[in-house]
Amino acid sequence: MKLKIAFQGERGAYSEEAAIQFFGQEVEFITCRDITSVFNLVEAGGADYGVVPLENSIEGSINETYDLLLSTSLKVSGEVNLKVTHCLIAHPEADPIKIKKVISHPQALAQCRIYLLSKRFEVVPSYDTAGSVRKIFEEKLLDTAAIASERAAQIYGMKILDRQIEDYGRNYTRFLVIGERDAEPTGEDKTSIIFSLPHIPGSLYRALEEFAIREINLTKIESRPTKHRPFEYYFYIDFEGHRRNPIIQEALDSLSKKTLFLKVLGSYPRAKIQ
């Protein structure tokens, strides 16, 4: 039986590319309109794994994903660093000179801000990059272009007007693979956790000290509002090592004594940037 993999967007979305990079083609892909639906489907058992965006090297974090990691019971079992190359895509019958409007996901629009300003297009946010291409195809919009991947253009039989329109060439999006359990140790692993702290001087310093004294390398730290107490935060941290490593276990045990709340999201193989 094939694995069922859920992702946000339509066929040809960058999330699907990330899923293919991690799982290959011999799986069943399930499209979801938004990130919340991916989490819900995997939690309900409708998919074995989900692939969700977490952060972009140009535009930063995807807050929706961070918030869902807090509330879900799912574990992080993998990550993908996908190089994102944006194309300007139009209907095959469209005249490039008559393109007045560009639609795409807000993240893609933001990553191409300089290009779009130079062209003076009207910019319209949409729920998905590939979904924008599909909309132009289905509705035969001749005055509108989409920002999406070359693969999306191929899937829907559209034409590419321009390539590599992102503002910065080294444009990567980090995706997480989520499921019911995390991964076995490989020797090159990361662990992700969430915690909250007493609202007193030095609490964050003392928490991070548990990693420093054991020479555990932090690779990411992010804060998000608790939404329950004004201007108090959850801290999301990624660090090198697997949770089963005795040194990591010792650090987490000590950290738990200094936090109000601690959740281990999972350990998983560390992805490389290609």
Q: Is 191 a catalytic residue?
A: no
CA distance 244 to 233: 27
**Lookup result for tokens 């300007």:** 88
CA distance 168 to 114: 10
From 39, 121, 175, 211, the catalytic residue: 175
Tokens of 147: 């920002």
Q: Return the closest-CA partner of residue 13 out of 127, 172, 142.
A: 127
Tokens of 73: 């019971």
From 65, 129, 173, 259, the catalytic residue: 173
Tokens of 262: 């601690």
Q: Is 175 a catalytic residue?
A: yes
CA distance 173 to 61: 9
* Sheet arrangement for strand 87-90: 122-125, 101-104, 144-148, 87-90, 159-163
Rg (CA), the chain: 20
Q: Which residues are annotated as catalytic?
A: 173, 175
